Amino acid sequence: MAFVMNDAESSNQKILVEAKGVNKSYKTKRETIHVLNETDLKVFSGEVLGIVGASGVGKSTLLHVLGGLDKPENGEVFFKGENIYRRGNSFLDKFRNIHIGFVFQFFNLLPDFTALENAMFPALIQNVNKPAAKERAEYLLDEVGLKNRMSHKPGELSGGESQRVALARGLMNQPDMLLADEPTGNLDAHASDQLIELIRKLNKELNQTFVLVTHSQRVAGQLDRVLELVDGKVNPINQSLLI
Ligand SMILES: Nc1ncnc2c1ncn2[C@@H]1O[C@H](COP(=O)(O)OP(=O)(O)OP(=O)(O)O)[C@@H](O)[C@H]1O
Ligand SMILES: [Mg+2]
């Protein structure tokens, strides 16, 4: 049964990532938009955490801050107790490549490379030998149901298929945390359920931690814990209200 797990109830779990008092704003010529406002958030090891909220509220921004992609103006982000933004850019590049997998809202696949090559990319950056990278990419693409699309380039894939290639790519280096921005955004209900089932399977088999941003109540209802981002702060959601 779905329930709200608060920090006290989940305190027996290990904290993988913790954001403390994070502020993030965007300055344009006309105004400053305060997106994250003293935001506190914990991600526990081995959970599938959902983040929901209205369009433009800052979900993608929050995901980027958690994954070492976007330095907040104030506040800290701790990964396994280490303050990641206290170090320089080369540390952050390495940190992301080793520990974090990203599935971006708009996939960010390389258009001139096949699905297989796109999935292999993070491993090649880490100098994993090519046959081993190919083998893992093939395994992951098979897992996400794209065995017959490996030689397709992004322009020859549907939106949902591109999203699944991005998921395979995100899992390539066996990250500690996979951050996925609307991974089911282009999928119908059936395909979305299949993808969430796959995510649950990877979570169970590999104890893979996921943080998923979603607009879908149906998806949110299938996750371990859901937080809603409102006015720059996150609040737990009672999932039984979502189903
Ligand atoms: N580079 C930028 N410069 C200025 N404003 C920005 C920039 N990036 C994002 N914003 C603004 O910050 C706010 C939060 O953006 P963000 O992309 O995090 O929202 P979101 O919750 O992911 O929205 P969606 O659900 O539509 O993807 C939005 O109002 C957006 O217009
Ligand atoms: Mg977004």
What are the boundaries of each domain within the chain?
15-241
How far apart CA 232 and CA 234 sit, in angstroms, is 7
Whether 32 is in the pocket of ligand 1, judged by its Cβ within 6 Å, is no
Listed residue (71, 129, 59) closest to 95, CA to CA: 71
Q: Which 3 state secondary structure label does DSSP give 1?
A: coil
Whether 28 is in the pocket of ligand 1, judged by its Cβ within 6 Å, is yes
169-199 pLDDT, tens digit per residue, is: 999 999 999 999 999 888 888 888 888 998 9
β-strand pairing of 48-52 with 225-230: parallel
Listed residue (158, 153, 183) closest to 168, CA to CA: 183
Q: For residue 230, what is the enclosing H or E element?
A: strand 225-230
How far apart CA 180 and CA 156 sit, in angstroms, is 22
Which carries the bigger pLDDT value, residue 242 or residue 76? 76
Tell me how far the alpha carbon of residue 56 lies from the centroid of ligand 1, in angstroms: 5
Q: Residue 4: its pLDDT value, please? A: 55
pLDDT band at 12 (very low <50, low <70, confident <90, very high): low
How far apart CA 17 and CA 78 sit, in angstroms, is 6
Q: Residue 186: its pLDDT value, please? A: 81
> Ligand 1, atom 17: nearest CA belongs to which residue?
60
Tell me how far the alpha carbon of residue 106 lies from the centroid of ligand 2, in angstroms: 9
> Ligand 1, atom 14: nearest CA belongs to which residue?
58
Which carries the bigger pLDDT value, residue 142 or residue 105? 142
How far apart CA 196 and CA 106 sit, in angstroms, is 18
The rounded mean pLDDT for the chain is 91
pLDDT band at 8 (very low <50, low <70, confident <90, very high): very low
Q: Residue 1: its pLDDT value, please? A: 44
Whether 21 is in the pocket of ligand 1, judged by its Cβ within 6 Å, is no
**77 has pLDDT over 50:** yes
203-240 pLDDT, tens digit per residue, is: 998 899 999 999 998 999 999 999 999 999 999 998 77
Tell me how far the alpha carbon of residue 7 lies from the centroid of ligand 1, in angstroms: 28
Pocket test for ligand 1, best of 25, 33, 184 (most atoms within 8 A of CB): 33
Tell me how far the alpha carbon of residue 141 lies from the centroid of ligand 1, in angstroms: 30
Whether 64 is in the pocket of ligand 1, judged by its Cβ within 6 Å, is no
Q: Residue 191: its pLDDT value, please? A: 82
Homologous superfamily of the 15-241 domain (CATH):
P-loop containing nucleotide triphosphate hydrolases (3.40.50.300)
Which carries the bigger pLDDT value, residue 11 or residue 240? 240
Q: Please state, for a pLDDT cut of 70, what percent of the chain lies above it.
A: 94
**67 has pLDDT over 70:** yes
How far apart CA 227 and CA 138 sit, in angstroms, is 34
How far apart CA 217 and CA 103 sit, in angstroms, is 20
> Ligand 1, atom 27: nearest CA belongs to which residue?
55
